[in-house]
Chain A
Amino acid sequence: MLQLENLKKSYIEPNGHVLPVLDIPSFQVEAGEQMVLLGQSGCGKSTLLHVIAGISGPDSGSVLLDGHDMGALSEAGRDRYRAAKLGYVFQTFNLLAGFSALENVLLGMTFARRRYNVKRAEQLLDRVGLTERSHHKPAALSVGEQQRVAVARALANQPSLLLADEPTANVDPANQQTVIDLIRESCREENIAMILVTHSMEVADQFDRVDRLEEINTLSTKTASRS
């Protein structure tokens, strides 16, 4: 489902030096597979997610998602593909403050150029237990509720792959497991593959597949100074 081949990514620092971040000979995730990606801070985990999502283009190599090479698409093509095939759960939720919980879920459908399906959005909010809070704006929601809205939004377009970047980092311990269970259960129900980035071994231990970025990235942590 997702296949990275000879992926290289580097940044140009303000002083003009080229800073290599990623050099991944090969990396694969199967359809519906749920895995954890571990790595030290600054090892390039977020950069890898950005490249997979098409937010950043790779310097070289290929990112094949459902057989389509993201690297070969134009930026607009990557945007469309991202909207349709990828769900993204951020560490800081990144809900839009001016929109209600329901509208935040509908936003994802808007950008995928789909006729937005209010019923599905309401079902998703129901699945994450926020039916009663669907018309509240993020500021009126608790941190845990905000992350649940973010999960619903990531699932709105029935993506092939869900990227979760430390989704429990800002959630209180009592709600962390709820969020993880919610993401895993939802992905399982809709056969969505998932890459979950975390520092928590407690979370990682719940997954069958746990990869360390340092192991798949030949540059390792010695040169990767930013994520």
Chain B
Amino acid sequence: MSLWKIAWRSIQQRGLASALTALSMALGVLLVVAVLSIHGVVAQSFNSTSLGYNLIIGAKGGKLQLTLNTVYYLSQPVENIPYEYYLEFTEGGERRRALGHSIRAHVHDAQWDAIDTASLLGTDGLGGILVGESLRAAHADELDLERRGKFGQFSEIAVPLCLGDYFGQFRVVGTTPDMLNKLKYGPYGDKAYAFSQGRNFEHWNTEHGYFEAVVGATVAREMNVILGQNISPAHGDPERGGEVHATQFTVVGILKPTGTPNDRAVFINMEGFYLMEDHVKPLPEGEGEGTGFADIPGGFAEAGEEHGHHGHEHGPQEPLPVEQREVTAILLRTVASNPFIGVTLPTTINEGSVAQCVLPIREITNLFSFIVAPIQAALLGITALVCLVSGISILVSIYNSMSDRKHEIAVMRALGAGRGTVMAVILFESILLSVGGGMIGWIGAHSLMCVPAISDRVEQQTGVPIGFTSFAPPIENLELLGLGPLIGSVPPELLLIPALLLLAVSVGFLPAMAAYRTDVAKSLGS
């Protein structure tokens, strides 16, 4: 008969007390595994949200706030940057098209239409027309209408974001269709956004004009949004008195769950965003006057008012002029052909006076390292203490039983068991209670991960799938607990086994010593 079996029989002999002490250890380990799993889910969630772009450009100020705002739609909205700055990240064609809706382009056209008319009247002939075209182009250059975006050659994808509006508790993101068409997400940045219902919003169409919206999976679920529903964003945080816009957007798509903060966002067409009241950037006094642009239907100056009574009988409407637009941030994926751009471009942008450029991965990593990880390390420490207390309860349980078991130990000694043997039996007992209880706790924790109510919710909220075999990833900041980088690279759940063994031997040592010191002759007579 093995010493393990002798130890197990002893545990069985004290069934209730043994079960309770093992249960306390099980609960301790369950808590540890739960904290480790939460850490893993949070870490994976953090790691999988920012892919698809590598830089964020926004107003100068706090880097973290810009990142939180742009990636997680958290924190108070930041300041805006001119729309024309966004155009610096586009190629010439797009910039030219966008500037076609600028005030100065219209001024340019109006002035040259007048000159053309005068020229024709002056009958300068073909030479006069060519000279006129040359002068028109020079004037356009002077008005900065023709060149390519300054950073266009470095941009693979540049997606503007306009923030500040809410739908219920969820952020409304004014952007372009590229946001959901071109950006990818997921741990490897290879997952395209997919729709559970409907499609992506369009820049403009005859049915809804500029006023189409797509909602994230969480928004659809929490706000009971259905396809075709008209929704009205509120200007500013509704909990802080934000007023609901009269403008309505038609929901044309509902995203499948992505596990990213985009599940908790409403995406509306940026052109429609600009046409809502209070979204027009005031022009400096005198600018634009006398150009005749105020007369354009749905024109720039009165855009908000024009659409305040917005129904859905849209005709082609004039978008807001470039000069009256702002963006909150630009999501930028730099060209892959030159990886140094991702390093040098932020420096160039930050040296300018208009905007700042942040590397979201760095900000997220810093946030995780300096805020989230220490909190989780503290939680881990607390749960480790719970295990220690459970271990002490094992010590108390076994030690209290020692006075009753002295006779039993003496009998074993009389049958030929050495001091080391009876000591080993007690240590094995402690190990069985600790490791056995720990295994029950581990199985319990991982079984909870299989419960659909839990696993489905975690996946919906974070995009991280969990199941029975989901192991917590290594904790990079275990140095905070005084553990070295080597241990820090090992999956922490594997560390539970030696930790439990160490704990078991530690707490079993005292009663084992009592067994070791048992006076056989005296105890046999008792």
Give the B-binding residues of A (Cβ under 8 A): 46-47, 50, 53, 55-56, 75-76, 79-80, 82-84, 86, 88, 90, 94, 96-99, 103, 106-112, 116, 153, 157
Contacts and interface: CB of A to CB of B under 8 A. Distances in A.
B352 interface: no
Contacts of B13: 97-98
B428 to A, nearest CB: 13
Interface string B508-526: 0000000000001100110
Nearest to B13: A98
A94 B12 CA distance: 18
A109 B1 CA distance: 8
A86 B415 CA distance: 8
B412 interface: yes
Contacts of A111: 412, 415-418, 421
A55 B521 contact: yes
A7 to B, nearest CB: 16
Given A97-B13, A103-B9, A108 B416 contact: yes
5 contacts: A75-B419, A90-B524, A98-B13, A107-B1, A111-B417
A112 to B, nearest CB: 6
Given A90-B524, A98-B9, A110-B6, A80 B416 contact: yes
B10 interface: yes
A15 to B, nearest CB: 17
A16 B520 CA distance: 21
Interface string B1-20: 11100100110110000000
Contacts of B9: 96, 98-99, 103
Interface string B376-404: 00000000000000000000000000000
Contacts of B524: 50, 55, 90, 94
A99 to B, nearest CB: 6
A110 B417 CA distance: 8
Interface string B99-123: 0000000000000000000000000
A98 B421 CA distance: 18
Contact of A96 (B2, B3, B408): B408
A153 B416 contact: no
B416 A55 contact: no
Interface string B481-518: 00000000000000000000000000000000000000
A106 B416 contact: no
Given A79-B413, A99-B9, A116-B1, A55 B419 contact: no
Contact of B415 (A46, A98, A107): A107
Interface residues of B, number: 25
Given A75-B418, A97-B13, A98-B12, 12 more contacts: A46-B525, A56-B520, A76-B420, A84-B416, A86-B416, A94-B411, A96-B9, A109-B1, A110-B3, A111-B412, A111-B417, A111-B418
B192 interface: no
Contacts of B415: 82-83, 88, 107-108, 111, 153
Instruction: Specify the main secondary structure of chain A where it touches its partner.
Output: helix
A83 B413 CA distance: 9
B525 A106 contact: no
Contacts of B6: 107, 110
B418 A79 contact: yes
Nearest to A79: B418
A82 B416 contact: yes
B131 interface: no
Contacts of B520: 50, 55-56
B414 interface: yes
Interface string B456-468: 0000000000000
A108 B1 CA distance: 9
A99 B9 CA distance: 7
A109 B2 CA distance: 11
A211 B10 CA distance: 40
A112 B421 CA distance: 11
A75 B416 CA distance: 11
Contacts of A46: 525
A107 B412 contact: yes
A55 B414 contact: yes
Interface string B116-158: 0000000000000000000000000000000000000000000
Interface in B408-451: 408, 411-421
Closest 7 CB pairs of A and B: A83-B416, A98-B13, A111-B416, A98-B9, A79-B418, A111-B417, A94-B411
B416 to A, nearest CB: 2
Contacts of B408: 96-97
A50 B525 CA distance: 11
B521 A56 contact: yes
Nearest to A82: B416
Given A98-B13, A106-B1, A107-B1, A112 B521 contact: no
A79 B1 contact: no
A172 B10 CA distance: 29
Contacts of B417: 79, 83, 111
Interface in B1-50: 1-3, 6, 9-10, 12-13
A75 to B, nearest CB: 7
